[in-house]
Amino acid sequence: MNRFSLALVIGLFVAGCMSSRAPDAASTSTVTDVQRTEARRTDAGIEISLADETGHTREARQQLRRLLSSYDLDPWIVTQEVQIETGVDPHSHPVLTLNTNHLRDDETQLSIFLHEQAHWFVGRSVRPFAPKAGEEKQAVIKDLEALYPDPPPAADYGTFVHLIVGWLEVDGMAELVGEERAREVKRGLVQQYTEEPLSNTDKSYRWYNERVLEDTREIGAILAEHGLIITPDKGLVVQVNEE
Ligand SMILES: [Zn+2]
């Protein structure tokens, strides 16, 4: 997660490859194919590199492998390249990077992983940076700005992008660990990542996460309208009003 919006440092929003498994693969394949399918299922094709060879990065790699084999994360895997580095803030670009701060808390690390993957998903259709002079703002951002005409002064374009990313993170967690737990994990993260007195970065980080937790339905309805929900029928299910 990246409260600094640095996650948005970008180069390429290459369309990632969501792996798709034929549901009946096992019934029609040879044993070898089945084994291969199983292998894919347990690591989702993720390649994990370590930025530094400490015990902690190796432990974090084990943790991520455990998460990949415990949960079916396929819908959320957009980039398959993951790096683990000690002492950095987690970020999405140019390479999705996790740190070693949550070795004892799999669900928190999972939430962060989904957040950074969500940046890659959102980046396929929503610009990561504010439009330049003369460029029009994208419709989903305009709709979110209309929902929040009076954001805190610290909020910027990246904060609005984070309303989408944060929502998708909680949505994914709701599907994987249940909505109540998803919300607890999110609240825990906000506490861990903000310190009184709040800096401007902390203020916008706290604001977008609180909006996601309190206005889940309203934000979700906007994302649904713009086709930005990764798993529309699962997790936080949003009712879109027919007009
Ligand atoms: Zn982020």
What's the gap in Å between 23 CA and the centre of ligand 1? 33
- Alpha-carbon separation of residue 62 from 19, 94, 228 (angstroms): 22, 23, 31
What's the gap in Å between 240 CA and the centre of ligand 1? 26
What's the gap in Å between 187 CA and the centre of ligand 1? 15
Pair (92, 145) in one structural domain: no
Pair (97, 133) in one structural domain: no
What's the gap in Å between 159 CA and the centre of ligand 1? 9
**74: nearest Cα among 22, 109, 31, 132:** 22
Residue 218 lies in a domain: yes
* pLDDT of amino acid 140: 98
What's the gap in Å between 151 CA and the centre of ligand 1? 18
- The number of distinct structural domains making up the chain is 2
* pLDDT of amino acid 197: 92
**80: nearest Cα among 33, 14, 2:** 14
What's the gap in Å between 91 CA and the centre of ligand 1? 7
Question: Phi and psi at residue 37, in whole multiples of 5°?
Answer: -60, -45
What's the gap in Å between 41 CA and the centre of ligand 1? 26
Specify the amino acid at residue 229.
Answer: I
Residue 10 lies in a domain: no
Q: Which residues surround ligand 1, an ion (CB under 5 A)?
A: 2, 7
Contact 73, 42 (CB under 8 A): no
Contact 94, 10 (CB under 8 A): yes
Domain boundary among 71, 92, 124: 124
Domain boundary among 69, 97, 124: 124
Residue 106 lies in a domain: yes
Pair (113, 135) in one structural domain: no
What's the gap in Å between 234 CA and the centre of ligand 1? 22
Pair (138, 232) in one structural domain: yes
Pair (226, 132) in one structural domain: yes
Pair (146, 224) in one structural domain: yes
What is d(CA 63, CA 105) in angstroms, rounded to the nearest whole number?
9
What residues of the chain score a pLDDT lower than 50?
1-31, 34-41
Domain boundary among 101, 124, 147: 124
What is the DSSP secondary-structure string of the chain? --TTSGGG--S--PPP------TTHHHHS-HHHHHHHHHHHHHTT-EEEESS--HHHHHHHHHHHHHHHHS--GGG----EEEE-TTSPPB-SSSEEE-STTTT-HHHHHHHHHHHHHHHHHHTTS-SSPPPTTPPPPHHHHHHHHH-SS--TT--HHHHHHHHHHHHHHHHHHHHH-HHHHHHHHHHHHHHH--SSPPHHHHHHHHHHHHHHHSHHHHHHHHHHTT--SSTTSSS--PPPP-
* pLDDT of amino acid 12: 34
| pLDDT per position as a tens digit, 125-145 | 999 999 999 999 999 999 999
Tally of CB atoms within 10 A around 200: 12
Contact 217, 233 (CB under 8 A): no
Range of the domain at 170: 128-238
Could you tell me the two tokens for 190? 């906000």
Residue 25 lies in a domain: no
pTM: 0.82
* pLDDT of amino acid 243: 52
